[in-house]
Chain A
């Protein structure tokens, strides 16, 4: 051991290796994760279906051909994936189902997070009475499982896409509020917050420009898990026949209405929507896991 090994060589900043940003690092780690990339491509495909449903679907959603009721798949070239109980092209229904799922899956967490993050931030930052109120609110809403609340609320509002989104948003804020509050409580005592306060930052500025950007990572991860949860809830309620009303296509409803004595003959009515629902859930959970690992390198494994 010579003394020279203990000296850390100092190089001027210009000669340093190209600097990696946090985001660039995360993207690189994400791209290296095979499962996460598979999930990512599944999601790209589903969003493509949802956005361009009008262009790629071979028929209008509600066009029923009464001469071709319950055509089996791969038997009729006009209807490659067969038709449903009233003669609507199944491929078209499946494509439009993606639109319903994505609409509910994105809007519900968006509404939920905008309410939840606001409440959680106020509770965590202000503490005191505000914190007390928010905590009691969370307690009341977690006393009954979200699905039962949604079911009950649906009986009050009636069904339909807009009502489904509203009803699911009623409980969608809880998780984000809890998360934001807990994160705010831990970073409230950090040095950068104290120094910002010493510099005379206003409350709004403290929350918006100093504290929120620091908890964006857990929020993002939690968001990617909230999307499949909302899709699951919509599919489930529609499956029970309480969610989306006809003519709107919904995978959950398609599975639900396929169940019966004839299911073993007309297997396609249940098979295709189940594959799509499973694919969607897998896609989001792969991406969620990948994001979690990419954004938080301290999580090993």
Chain B
């Protein structure tokens, strides 16, 4: 590990002297051991952030090149699809209108010029040819809404379940939590979705597909909180809930067996204070590292759940854009998702480094 000149270790004082307080005047300790690490951390973080942001741009560029050229390598464009029956003249006119008659590289450069200022062009397939960004702005809130509820339900319940399971280990609660965790990871969510819809949806009338057209935040469609969210959120939450519960159980029961907890008990601290002051604090680290990478998944939406429940969100839109060969929409959605994921990786890495200073960022590969 390279050490910048102003970091504590290179300041000329041998390490053992810093730790031996009785030989060291207070002022010397504060300048050498306490103050000097801060500039080094700052220097390190800025350096790291700049490098990672550069890498992010590079990744987005490569992704856009790959997707654009693969997409255009397929014979047949968006207008020669299916039985639309355009005459050759009409087809040529349409392609000229949307700029599809130009060579691929020229179209890519045009796309890039727009993408720099977040203009991805107009959609081919959506009625009225609105700009891609407008379509995303209309569709994403629906997905975000379901995603946020899912995050609250799965992380909250998962954490509580894991905690209780760790505390009453091998009791019936523990068994139930294990069962949920196994079911959530083992049974594909589109199958769970199908069965829940079959059992509850048609019977009770929760989750009517026709209601999902307008984002709830903008009013008219679904209410902000309605039973229509119940089935999608439950289905969607099952997997992260199981994951969170399992990790919470493991790390909390590790912490419960640790020496410092025994010491705390021996000191006569109350169970509650042991749990909140000692156990949870240390158990949080592994939980955070598992929970965070789940978030982009939940916020960009699940294809299957949106298709089964008829939610007109981002995931369902991705599928229809691909089948319609709506080139500008595909590019916009892919880049949005890629950006979102890359940012999450970045934030996770920063948090790793902040939570656990032993992890040096350069050597870590993504979890």
Contact = CB atoms under 8 A, between A and B. Distances in A.
Asked if A and B are interacting partners, one says yes
Interface in A120-179: 135-136, 138-140, 142-145, 147-148, 151-153, 155-156, 178
A143 B186 contact: no
Nearest to B363: A185
B289 interface: no
B365 A181 contact: yes
A277 B188 contact: yes
Contact of A143 (B59, B194, B325, B363): B59
Given A152-B322, A155-B322, A147 B303 contact: yes
A156 B71 contact: yes
A144 B63 contact: yes
Nearest to A239: B190
Is the contact region of chain B dominated by helix, strand, or loop, or is it mixed?
A: helix
Contacts of A204: none
Contact of A152 (B55, B67, B73, B187): B67
Contact of B186 (A136, A236, A240, A285): A285
Contacts of B300: 145
Given A143-B63, A152-B330, A278-B188, 4 more contacts: A145-B337, A255-B190, A259-B308, A281-B186
Contact of B325 (A155, A274, A281, A285): A155
A264 interface: yes
Contacts of A264: 198, 202
13 contacts: A135-B365, A138-B365, A143-B59, A143-B342, A144-B338, A152-B322, A240-B304, A263-B198, A274-B187, A277-B191, A278-B186, A278-B188, A285-B186
A233 to B, nearest CB: 9
A282 interface: yes
A270 interface: yes
Nearest to B324: A155
Contacts of A139: 55, 59, 342
B307 interface: yes
Contact of B59 (A140, A147, A178, A232): A140
Is the contact region of chain A dominated by helix, strand, or loop, or is it mixed?
A: helix
Nearest to A174: B366
Count chain B CB atoms within 10 A of each CB in A144, A151, A153, A264 and give the residue with the most: A144
Given A143-B338, A152-B67, A277-B188, A178 B330 contact: no
A182 interface: yes
Interface of A: 135-136, 138-140, 142-145, 147-148, 151-153, 155-156, 178, 181-182, 185, 228, 232, 235-236, 239-240, 255, 259, 263-264, 267, 270, 274, 277-278, 281-282, 285, 301
B366 A156 contact: no
Interface in B44-76: 55, 58-60, 62-63, 66-67, 70-71, 73-74
B273 interface: no
B191 A144 contact: no
Contacts of A301: 250
Contacts of B190: 235-236, 239, 255
B322 A151 contact: yes
Nearest to A281: B186
Contacts of A263: 198
Contacts of A145: 297, 300, 337, 341
A21 to B, nearest CB: 30
A277 B73 CA distance: 35
A143 B63 CA distance: 8
Contacts of A278: 186-188, 191
A178 B345 CA distance: 15
B185 interface: yes
A127 B6 CA distance: 29
Nearest to B71: A156
Nearest to B364: A182
B40 interface: no
Interface string B307-341: 11000000000110011010000100010011001
